Every structure is written in structure tokens, then in C-alpha cells.
Amino acid sequence: MRQNNQAATSESPAMSFFSSRHLYPAHLSTIKTRVDTALSRHGFDHLLVASGIEKMRFLDDTPYPFKVNPQFKQWLPLTRHPHCWIAYTPGRKPVLAYYQPDDYWHVPPSPPEGEWVEHFDIRVLADPVEAVLHLPTNGRSAIIGEADAALPGFAPNNPKAVLDYLHFHRAFKTPYELALMRLAQRKGARGHVAARHAFLGRESEAGINAAFLAAAGHTDSDVPYNNIVALNQNGATLHYQYKQFEAPSEHRSLLIDAGAEVDGYASDITRTWANGDQAFAELVSAVDNEQQQLAGKVRADLDYRDLHLETHLRLGGVLKALDIVDMDPGNMLETGVTSTFFPHGLGHPIGLQVHDVAGFSDVDGKLIPRPEGHPFLRMTRTLAPGMVVTIEPGIYFIPTLLEKLKATAQAKSVNWKKVEHLTRFGGVRIEDEVHCTDAAPENLTRDAFAELG
Ligand code: GLY
Ligand code: MN
Ligand code: MN
């Protein structure tokens, strides 16, 4: 399947879809079954899904990068196509209203092609409003989309109960989705290898980012989230958003959190590299070791919240073993000391969105609470086969949090000299995606790096 304006590289959507094409019909059938149940449970006759519209900058004629409605791209691998609609009535072939203008300012979408085409009744539109001719006017429609996608008579109503059901089930990946996610890992891993090279070659953050993008086959605007490329102490800012063009005088450490996308499915990978300093290298290696142990514990029926709390205990063990904090790890967790060094959650579900939906809700949209004192955990569900979650522990030296720790009774147990030394390196995060199966987990990220050799 060749998508609009995209070069056919070794892992272009054309190739990726080819390698996963035999899995597509079963995927579509799963999506239809989920939608059939959601509609019948909540009294709807049809599901309409808008791909979305291109949004313009304020008082400007320049668009923001188009980001498709995730509920649209789970039906078919179209991610660059505004003004399209899917209209599905249970028991019937879904209709795809496919916008293909005659446009000589931009490259227009190419004619639909690929395995998915035969599964849709495709109606080509030259004008977005023509879609109304192809949408059902009888019965009750659940219309999923942003408000600005509305057409006359078809304003998105986004019924919460329907969305809750679909969001909840999106956690369980189909074999087709897993195949695409494996490819997204491979693309991301290639980028990470190139980024590490650029770091050792003393490139700037912007230069390292460029190396990642070139190797991953992405531009800055089509990565699944903004890359975090942090040299030295910048690694202490969890979502560090800049990329300096000037290289620093020393390349002490690199924390790079960057992923890739294939047919709308994301990878989200973090690696931290040390360069010369033994204490920091030991810390990276210790966090990496704990991360692999935690990833290996992903199992059906495990409450992800328990794994998050276990992470605190393990990281507390690292702080103690490396002579950073002299306290029992359980005591560190209870008194909040581990949260000073690890102030985010263990991870989150991932798939069509990097932070996939329904990480903390049940099938009816009811909140599954976070453990008290852990407000940033994005996943509170019990693991089950088909789920893919990130496992991303970290230890950081964040000046504002360290200042707060200094004012507590636990401050006396901290080796401030070592903390001061490590602060120059920012922090460590190691992040993989792990697929929960019926048995041992599949570490999608480590497998992808191993394939690269
Ligand atoms: N890249 C953001 C995260 O790891 O969740
Ligand atoms: Mn993540
Ligand atoms: Mn990440």
C-alpha cells in the first residue's frame, strides 16, 4: 500500500503493510465485532468516524501538521488523509468516503490501494462536503470526531459509553497491530543506534536528533511524539523540549527518548548513554538491569500498580547499593525518597497513540485509582494477553526536588557529595515496550535492537 507522498524505503508503509497484510482481515473483523457490541449495548445503529481536518495557524494560511483521529486509523492504514469518513452499519460493508481533491499546490492523496481496499465500499470525494451524500440519515449514529470535522447534519456527538468501550478494548492488540508495532520498534531502534553514534561523535542535541530522524526515516513532524534529546544535566528535565544547536564542551551523558511510527502505530524508546564517568556508567548499568528484570515480570493477571511499586523498591535498592542514599528501600518508598529520584510512573499502554487511551479505566469508563502518593502513574489496569505497555524506570537528579529533600528528616541519609557529582549527568531512563502474552512476555524493543545486531 503506497500512501500519499511517501517514498518507498525498505520499511515504507508500502512494505510494512505488505508484511502484515495477511493479518489485516482478522484485525478488521475484530474491530467490527467490538463496534457491533458497543453500538448494540448503547442503542446506536451506525458508527461514523471522521479522519479530521487540517488545522490552520491563527490568522495564517499555514497548517499545523495533520494528526488523524486515532479511532479512524484503527480501521485502516490511512494516517495522512483529512476530510475522510468511515460509515459502518453492523452487518454491512463499511463505507469509506475518501477525499481526493484535484490539487496542484500539494501532492493529492493517491488512489486507494492495498489489502484493505476490498473490505470497504469506497466513494471518492472531490469536495469534503460531498461526504454527506454517503453517510446514513436513518437511525441513530455515534459520530466520532473533533467538533471542527462537522458536516451539515453530522456533528460529532462522541457518545461517552461507546468511546469507553472502544478505548478499553484498544488495549488488546490484534496480531496485525503487533506486527506493525514490531516494525515501529525496528525503525526506532535504527534511529537510536545512529543517535548514539552522533553522541560519541560529539554532535549537538540538534545534530543527534537529525541523526535519529534520518536513520528512523522520519521528519520532525511525523514522529509519534516530540523527541527528547538531552545532553548532560538537561536529562533531568523529564520532557526536555529543546534541541541546542551548539555542542557542549563536554559530552558526559545522553538521555534520548524517541520513537517511530508505522501505519499509525507508535514506538516509544529511551536509552541513556554514559561517556567516561564510572559512577554514572554504574548507575546506567544498574537501572538498565532493573529495567530488564521488571520487563521480564510482565504477566497476565499482574496488577500494573504492583509493578510500579516494586519499581520504587528496586530503584531504592540501586540508590542504596551505589551509596547514594543509605536507607532501607521500603523506608525510602514510604517517606517519598524514591519519588525524589523517580518522580514519574513506570509506564503506560501504547499503540495508536504513544500514551494510549484507557490506561486507568475499566470497560465502563470507571476510574481504576492510582496508588496513593503516585499521581503520575498512567496505567492502573491488570495486565492481560495482547496488552503492550512501556516499562520505563529512571533515576534523576532534579535540582528542585533535591532541594525539597534537603529540607526533610531523610536528608541526613543522602550522600550529597555523590548526588552533586551525578547532577552533572542529569539522569537515567531506560524504556522498552513489552507485550503481555499467555506465557513469558515479548520485549518488542530489545528484540528490535537484537535484530540490528
Ligand atoms: N516519551 C514519553 C514517555 O515516555 O512517556
Ligand atoms: Mn513512555
Ligand atoms: Mn518515552
Q: Looking at the CA of 192, which ligand is closest?
A: 3
Domain with CATH 3.40.350.10 in the chain: 45-158
Residue 17 has pLDDT above 60, yes or no: no
Residue 426 Cα to ligand 1 midpoint, Å, equals 17
Residue 350 Cα to ligand 2 midpoint, Å, equals 8
Question: Does residue 225 have its Cβ closer than 6 Å to ligand 1?
Answer: yes
Ligand 1 atom with the smallest distance to the CA of 355 is: 5
**pLDDT one-digit tens code per residue, 374-385:** 999 999 999 999
Domain with CATH 3.90.230.10 in the chain: 175-452
Running DSSP on this structure, what letter comes out for residue 445?
H
**pLDDT one-digit tens code per residue, 133-149:** 999 999 999 999 999 99
In sequence order, which residues have a C-beta less than 8 Å from that of residue 382 and are 6 or more positions away?
301, 302, 303, 304
Question: Does residue 268 have its Cβ closer than 6 Å to ligand 1?
Answer: yes
Residue 24 has pLDDT above 80, yes or no: yes
| CATH T-level fold of 175-452 | Creatine Amidinohydrolase (3.90.230)
Ligand 1 atom with the smallest distance to the CA of 268 is: 1
**pLDDT one-digit tens code per residue, 30-58:** 999 999 999 999 999 999 999 999 999 99
Residue 259 Cα to ligand 1 midpoint, Å, equals 9
For 181-219, b where at least 16 C-beta lie within 10 A, e where not — what string? bbbbbbbbbbbbbbbbebbeeebbbebbbbbbbebbbbe
The pLDDT value given to residue 108: 82
Residue 76 Cα to ligand 2 midpoint, Å, equals 25
The enclosing H or E element of 32 equals helix 24-42
Ligand 1 atom with the smallest distance to the CA of 344 is: 5
Residue 256 Cα to ligand 3 midpoint, Å, equals 8
Cα torsion 205, 377, 179, 53 to 10°: value is: -70
Residue 21 has pLDDT above 90, yes or no: no
Q: What is the spatial distance between Cα 259 and Cα 293, in angstroms, rounded to a whole number? A: 22
Question: Does residue 433 have its Cβ closer than 6 Å to ligand 1?
Answer: no
Right CATH for 45-158 from 3.20.20.140, 3.40.350.10, 2.60.40.1080, 3.90.1150.10: 3.40.350.10
Residue 19 Cα to ligand 2 midpoint, Å, equals 26
Going by CA atoms, what residue is nearest to atom 4 of ligand 1? 268
Ligand 1 atom with the smallest distance to the CA of 348 is: 5
* Residues around ligand 3, an ion, CB closer than 5 A: 257, 268, 270, 431
pTM, rounded to two decimals: 0.95
Greater pLDDT, 201 or 6 = 201
Q: What is the spatial distance between Cα 162 and Cα 121, in angstroms, rounded to a whole number? A: 24
| Average pLDDT over every residue of 9-13 | 44
Q: For residue 5, what pLDDT band results from cuts at 50, 70 and 90?
A: very low
The pLDDT value given to residue 19: 64
Short-list 310, 171, 256, CA closest to 427: 256
